[in-house]
Structure 1
Amino acid sequence: MLRPRAVQINVFKNAVRNKHVRPAADILSGHLLVDESLLTEAVKTKREKNWAIISSIANRKDLALSMATQYHQPDIVCLAKKTCVDAKKIYRLLNRFWRLGQVRDAMLPDYYFCGGRGKQRKNVTKSLGRKSVSRTGAFPVRESYIVTEKDKVNIRKFLKLTYLKSRGVSMEQAYQDFLKTYFPAAIIDADFTQTRPDIPSSQQFRSWAKKLFSQHDMIAFTKHQTDYLQNYRSNESSIVSDNLVPGACFEIDATVIDVHIVSKWNRNKVLGRPTLYFIVDRASGMIVGLSVSLFYASWDAARLALFNAFSSKVPYCHSLGIDITEREWPCKHLPGRLIADNGEMLGLRAEESVVPMVPLEWAGLSRPDFKPFVEGRFNTLNRSELHALAGSVRDKGKIIKSAPDPRSRAIYTLEDLTKIIVRDVLDKNSMTRDRLSFQSKLLVETDTPPTPLEFWHIHVANYMSALKKVSEQEVEARLLRPVSVSVTANGIFWQEMYYSHDKVRKLNLSAIAKTNGRIQLEGRVNDECFDYIYVKLPNETTFTRCGLLKRSQEMKGLGLADVYYIQDWADDQHAKRTLPISSIESLSVKNAITRQAKREAKAAPKPKTKKARTDNRRKNRVEEMARSLERNSANATDKSTCSEPHSEPKKRQYSNNVLTLPSRGDNK
């Protein structure tokens, strides 16, 4: 039993000065922090009973000093006789009262640390669990097995070898293998004597597995490291905490769209599933760029999405027949950093093109949680839009037996699908997101709707962004696909299309190429639209945008998929019709004519000299023409005679009247 201690003030000050007495934190016991409404009636009754014993003397100010200076207290002895309670209990109750804050709740029973919760009992000789009971009494009751310390070590070791692995066996299989390993003799003897073996039960094995390993260890050890980090680890921090303003970080990723498409030229030709690239701003959740193409996930497809993200969306949407303003999709900036997959963006081509403009970071392998916003946009797009379209697939393209093939139902072209996705992006950028309401006080202060679009506008207007601007020429030069073009007499030639510009005409490059041959130049093309091409003209450092000439207007509005289809169609037609069928018959006729000519030439009389064969060519030509006319006249006469043998040709009647035509100046 502890009692108050009386110390002189000078002694106490010296002890504090010499650090023999130090302040300590007063940790309040857990049983005093329970709400009054949660206390049971039994606990309340015990509190009132204890308080009734000491309530008459607990608040006396001289009692604590008296107990510190005197061992026996007559007042407590009298109280013990009066209440019929042992004096030691009164001393203990007073000690709790002073130690726990001198409040009535100090009399609450302290059951907080009672029992051995979380502790393992040692040297157990009797079963501690629920006893088995026979339902009918016809069979003997199974005696519980006493798990020893050695058994605990074996269970722990065996679980590590079998169950606690990313591809480990089940708990039941681990239990059976455990018995086969450590209790084979007991099982064999029990089978021989037809008795129950003295082995741990399955419930005991599972119970000790939970005691020997924490719940976290049971989860972490049975999952693959990547799966655990992605789906099971704690996630207290937010990925947005360091990216609170637009442009701080962009996320880029690709997926294969869950819709089969058809050719623009022949809707009975299925082209498969295109690739979709999204670029999302991490702070606002705005989709700042996209690309839909027939490329697989590669740098060639990623560069189209980056070019779309860093340039104005107005001409892009106009090419799709969608008229918007800059305010409806204002994203045409560079971010503070760009995070991508450890895939197509990892390479020299991406670093040479992107890193000079934007710092590039890579997510870990198989860690989509590093870029959750762009991953979430893919899932939302599939559920809300794409899965409802004809030709869509689900379950990662798995085709169920006897179900209709999604490819047979495909009706959309690449352009149609792009229009649908762009429309959905514009809608999603204007949808309310509750997350933004608690992310920025600026929205509340300005009474701005919590949408990605308005979040972007209000932060940019208040100069709270990490966005950067760059010239269009640099974006075009670094992100568009480099090609080699040639200047011909008909203009700048590339992929069976002709382009030109006023600068080309002023420099007379076509005229020079007509005389001196083709001129090779460096160019850049946008694979989503071939209506224009960027060419670096001679003695210039920037690229010039050249438009499509009238002679190539049939190719206007085509993308890479359409051009590839035309080229494949031309190759297929050439392979099918290498030679016309008529040429085979013509060859045999020509050979027959040649043989006949040789026979007649051989039968003709030979000239006396070689020179006589070539003399008088003009005279021979005139005689041959005369003979041809005679033969034609004779043939015409024979035909007329055969058609009308008794009729004579009618003579044409001529009039002698002379008519005078009016002159040009006559008004009548």
Structure 2
Amino acid sequence: MELPRNSVWSVNDSELLKDGLYRLLDIFQDVESVILFSLDDTSATVRPIAVSLESFIELFSSRKAQKAHYELPSYLLVDEENISDDYIGRRDKNYGFIKGIVFDRSFIFDYATKRRSSQLAKYAKEIGADRKSLARLLTLYWRNGQDKMALLPAFSKSGGAGRDRIPTTKPLGAPKQPRTTAFDRAAKFIVSDEDKNKFKKALRKYYLKESGLTLAKTYKNLLKDSYSKEISLAEACGRYPLIPTKKQFSYWSTKLFSKEQIIKQRTSENDYLRNKRGALGSITDRSHLPGGHFEIDATVADVHIVSELGSHYVLGRPTIYIVADRASRMIVGMHVSLYHASWRAARQALTNSFLPKSDYCKSFGLEIADSEWPCAHIPKELVCDNGEMIGIQPQRALTPMTQLSFTPPYRPDCKGVVEKRFDTLNNEVVHELLGTTRGGNVVRGSRDPRKDAIYTLKEVTAEIIKAVLEHNRSILDGLVYSSPLLIENDLSPTPLNYWKIHLAKHRHELQSANSDEVIARLLPSAEVSMTRSGIYFNGMYYSCSEVEERNLASVARSSGRWRLEARIDENTTNYIYVRLDKNREFIKCNLLPRSRMLGDKSMYESDFIRDWLDTKKELTPISTTSIDDHKHRQETARQAKRRSKNAENVSFKDKTSNIRQRRKEELEATTNMIAPDFEVSVTNSIPDSFPLGSKIIPLPKGRKRRTNGGGS
């Protein structure tokens, strides 16, 4: 059994000592005694007591005495450097008073065992100090740990800090002082318990609520509700009203309600959880393996773009979808389009996340190896918000591959990794482009950013891809404390290194992605037609080797076109995926040369051309000339009908007889060019005596052609 000096013991159910905490001051082996000091006695002067060593050991054996902990006062738990020189001087002076007696073991034993001890009085007389003062210093010394710091003055507790004062007839605090002698200030108001209740009522009614009034307006309403009679009476008597001041009301608002209560009641629960709660943890604390959680979200890019087919056509601001891995901070997929945040755009981002990236980057003019962006996996869980991903279609498409997890409404902090990536992309790339809105930070009267828009969707996407690759190679300090593998393998804490080393050490929760399954499930579906010119979709024609080998275009030309199921990658027009037979996988079909004008563009450009054509048709459904021609044709028909009324009595036989002679007479009457006795020359030579300008020379007649129908 160990009985260290200065140890603290808790005694319970003992007949020898009162229950409570005791400090062991010393052990006297010669008389087999233990000197204890009661820590529960709060008197200014407390004398130690002596207990036989055998009895104390017995208490310990019977577990009636156990080691305990005594919490020292907070004013003693300070660094020596933070103590003022005045406090140190007082401490050292007090310690000098008792230093000559506190280490005298005979004095301690005598002081603990005798009710009257003359040694303390003699010592006080020798040093010229008061005996009671020495007794109080000894009590502090033994109570607070038997060292010099135990005698540090407790001035931090002076003034009753933390306790409410009870005013009487004299107001608390400094009196009101006029700045000049020309005026007298009003008497200071004494706040009573009744006034405090009025303060509480006004604060709850006007201040402590969502969209509550300011403290100044609440104070005015307090005066109107609770002190209106006093104000009216004082005005009638021509004196100062006896009302609480605004400073008093402000002071008691912080005393009657804690800061936590004020913050919670003046904001909504969502706003408190998102912006005002304590951030003691992070969403990454429980996710340190790549693939455990992918986060997906969308935002509208802070830049206006133009069409590739005409830079004078401003298309607005595109939507950026980002998919990020929570553990490694790796951006594993993205999609930029002119579609708003929807399942149509989100499925493109997910497809990009689950498939290799080299072909995707190549379509935007960037040549990379798959090792530079080695993300082609399906996560264990996909974290998204209560938006486009909560519908039936996403559930059907994604549930077989991964688990969906939805964040609470208005809580973007629950997927803070992907939210931070948007901020990074905006600051690094988007806000430096011409046509940027800079996140809405536009000064009134400044130039409209749409006037400066010069970049196309493809160019903006290419710049964002470069920024994503740079982000994945950037050093992030937080990754150092997420996993020891980076330090063990001497790798820079970048998302790319974090991803690669965890995959190499088989410490991840990623699943391998089947490209056929991803294409069939996630890419937007469409109907295409097999025609004589190839596979037709949105004004473009596609083909592949199998279409040519099976000569399907020839079959469509002879038997008519038919519909096929397809999957569309809206990032590019260079290819689509077509299922030629219902029991086979989708085959990649490339754009034919006849549609080369739309090559290397996004699918939105084909929609743009069709919209452009529709607007032209709507703008000019028919020409104004055709309207005039139509009116003239109708007028001519009316005149012809009026002439034909005179011929109604003539028989059909008379109308159709001798047509050839009548044609000849009509020509002679209308043209005046056919001679009566003209004969056709066999040699087709034209004599010089015939003026060409006044004669018609008929050519030899050819044989009649046989026709299958009545048409010419």
TM-score (ref. length: structure 1): 0.86
Amino acid at match of 2:225: T
Task: State the Cα distance separating 1:211 from its structure 2 match.
Answer: 1.0
Task: State the Cα distance separating 1:579 from its structure 2 match.
Answer: 4.1
Task: State the Cα distance separating 1:595 from its structure 2 match.
Answer: 8.0
Alpha-carbon contact 1:607-1:613 (below 8 Å) kept: no
Q: Within 2, Cα distance between the matches of 1:408 and 1:177?
A: 51
CA deviations 1:204-255 (Å, max 9, x no partner) are 0001111111222232322233222222211011221112232222221111
Task: State the Cα distance separating 1:504 from its structure 2 match.
Answer: 3.9
Q: Within 2, Cα distance between the matches of 1:92 and 1:583?
A: 118
Task: State the Cα distance separating 1:285 from its structure 2 match.
Answer: 2.0
Of the candidates 244, 251, 258, which is equivalent to residue 200 of structure 1?
A: 244
**Counterpart mapping for 1:36-55 below 5 A:** 36-55=80-99
Gaps of 5+ in 1: 616-625, 646-668
2:283 is aligned to 239
1:132 is aligned to 176
Identical-residue share of aligned pairs (%): 37
2:491 is aligned to 448
Is residue 513 of structure 2 the alignment partner of residue 470 of structure 1?
yes
Amino acid at match of 1:495: N
Alpha-carbon contact 1:249-1:282 (below 8 Å) kept: yes
1:271 is aligned to 315
Alpha-carbon contact 1:286-1:452 (below 8 Å) kept: yes
SS of 1:55's partner is helix
1:525 is aligned to 568
Task: State the Cα distance separating 1:151 from its structure 2 match.
Answer: 1.0
Task: State the Cα distance separating 1:163 from its structure 2 match.
Answer: 1.1
Of the structure 1 ranges 166-175 and 379-388, higher mean CA displacement relative to structure 2 is found in 379-388
Of the structure 1 ranges 579-588 and 208-217, higher mean CA displacement relative to structure 2 is found in 579-588
Q: Within 2, Cα distance between the matches of 1:72 and 1:571?
A: 114
2:118 is aligned to 74
Q: Within 2, Cα distance between the matches of 1:207 and 1:608?
A: 119
Gaps of 5+ in 2: 1-44, 661-673, 695-712
**Counterpart mapping for 1:550-569 below 5 A:** 550-569=593-612
1:146 is aligned to 190
Alpha-carbon contact 1:240-1:283 (below 8 Å) kept: yes
Q: Within 2, Cα distance between the matches of 1:125 and 1:280?
A: 68
Amino acid at match of 2:353: A
1:663 is aligned to none
Task: State the Cα distance separating 1:17 from its structure 2 match.
Answer: 5.1
Amino acid at match of 1:491: G
2:471 is aligned to 428
CA RMSD in angstroms, aligned pairs only? 3.5
Q: Within 2, Cα distance between the matches of 1:190 and 1:21?
A: 69
Is residue 403 of structure 2 the alignment partner of residue 359 of structure 1?
yes
Task: State the Cα distance separating 1:611 from its structure 2 match.
Answer: 11
Distance change (3 Å), C-alpha of 1:48 and 1:608: closer
Task: State the Cα distance separating 1:162 from its structure 2 match.
Answer: 0.6
Is residue 615 of structure 2 the alignment partner of residue 572 of structure 1?
yes
Is residue 330 of structure 2 the alignment partner of residue 286 of structure 1?
yes
1:655 is aligned to none
SS of 2:93's partner is helix
1:408 is aligned to 451
Q: Within 2, Cα distance between the matches of 1:501 and 1:561?
A: 23
Q: Within 2, Cα distance between the matches of 1:521 and 1:556?
A: 22
Q: Within 2, Cα distance between the matches of 1:305 and 1:639?
A: 84
Q: Within 1, Cα distance between the matches of 2:620 and 2:676?
A: 41
Q: Within 2, Cα distance between the matches of 1:86 and 1:405?
A: 86
Q: Within 1, Cα distance between the matches of 2:365 and 2:443?
A: 35
Task: State the Cα distance separating 1:592 from its structure 2 match.
Answer: 5.6
Distance change (3 Å), C-alpha of 1:633 and 1:345: farther
SS of 1:566's partner is helix
Of the structure 1 ranges 283-292 and 44-53, higher mean CA displacement relative to structure 2 is found in 44-53
Task: State the Cα distance separating 1:353 from its structure 2 match.
Answer: 1.4
SS of 1:297's partner is coil
Task: State the Cα distance separating 1:511 from its structure 2 match.
Answer: 5.0
Task: State the Cα distance separating 1:643 from its structure 2 match.
Answer: 6.9
Of the candidates 170, 182, 188, which is equivalent to residue 232 of structure 2?
A: 188
Task: State the Cα distance separating 1:638 from its structure 2 match.
Answer: 8.7
Distance change (3 Å), C-alpha of 1:487 and 1:643: closer
SS of 1:267's partner is strand
Of the structure 1 ranges 454-463 and 323-332, higher mean CA displacement relative to structure 2 is found in 454-463
Q: Within 2, Cα distance between the matches of 1:161 and 1:510?
A: 79
Q: Within 2, Cα distance between the matches of 1:85 and 1:641?
A: 161
Q: Within 2, Cα distance between the matches of 1:631 and 1:299?
A: 83
2:6 is aligned to none
1:491 is aligned to 534
Q: Within 2, Cα distance between the matches of 1:295 and 1:629?
A: 80
Distance change (3 Å), C-alpha of 1:20 and 1:252: same
Amino acid at match of 1:479: L
SS of 1:486's partner is strand
Q: Within 1, Cα distance between the matches of 2:676 and 2:455?
A: 66
Is residue 255 of structure 2 the alignment partner of residue 211 of structure 1?
yes
Alpha-carbon contact 2:376-2:513 (below 8 Å) kept: no
Task: State the Cα distance separating 1:203 from its structure 2 match.
Answer: 0.6
Task: State the Cα distance separating 1:606 from its structure 2 match.
Answer: 7.8
CA deviations 1:138-194 (Å, max 9, x no partner) are 433421111011111111121111112221111111111101111111101111111
2:420 is aligned to 376
Q: Within 2, Cα distance between the matches of 1:627 and 1:555?
A: 63
Of the candidates 288, 293, 303, which is equivalent to residue 347 of structure 2?
A: 303
Amino acid at match of 2:346: A
Q: Within 1, Cα distance between the matches of 2:321 and 2:266?
A: 34
If asked which structure has higher relative contact order (CA below 8 Å, sep 6+), I would say: 1
Distance change (3 Å), C-alpha of 1:133 and 1:400: closer
Amino acid at match of 1:314: S
Is residue 273 of structure 2 the alignment partner of residue 229 of structure 1?
yes
Amino acid at match of 1:34: V
Task: State the Cα distance separating 1:461 from its structure 2 match.
Answer: 2.0
SS of 1:521's partner is strand
Of the candidates 196, 199, 207, which is equivalent to residue 163 of structure 1?
A: 207
Of the structure 1 ranges 132-141 and 303-312, higher mean CA displacement relative to structure 2 is found in 132-141
Alpha-carbon contact 2:329-2:417 (below 8 Å) kept: yes
Alpha-carbon contact 1:30-1:112 (below 8 Å) kept: no
1:534 is aligned to 577
Is residue 172 of structure 2 the alignment partner of residue 110 of structure 1?
no
Is residue 479 of structure 2 the alignment partner of residue 479 of structure 1?
no
Q: Within 2, Cα distance between the matches of 1:334 and 1:155?
A: 59
Of the structure 1 ranges 580-589 and 60-69, higher mean CA displacement relative to structure 2 is found in 580-589
Distance change (3 Å), C-alpha of 1:515 and 1:591: farther
Alpha-carbon contact 2:540-2:591 (below 8 Å) kept: yes
CA deviations 1:100-139 (Å, max 9, x no partner) are 3322222222334333211212354321111112344343
CA deviations 1:595-637 (Å, max 9, x no partner) are 88997x979x98979998999xxxxxxxxxx999968879995
Alpha-carbon contact 2:538-2:607 (below 8 Å) kept: no
Amino acid at match of 2:521: R
Q: Within 2, Cα distance between the matches of 1:279 and 1:363?
A: 15
Alpha-carbon contact 2:167-2:190 (below 8 Å) kept: no
Q: Within 1, Cα distance between the matches of 2:159 and 2:222?
A: 31
Q: Within 1, Cα distance between the matches of 2:531 and 2:184?
A: 103
Q: Within 2, Cα distance between the matches of 1:98 and 1:628?
A: 155
Distance change (3 Å), C-alpha of 1:485 and 1:153: same
Alpha-carbon contact 1:399-1:405 (below 8 Å) kept: no
CA deviations 1:568-601 (Å, max 9, x no partner) are 12223333454456656766579969988997x9
SS of 1:372's partner is helix
2:34 is aligned to none
Alpha-carbon contact 2:364-2:458 (below 8 Å) kept: yes
Aligned length: 634
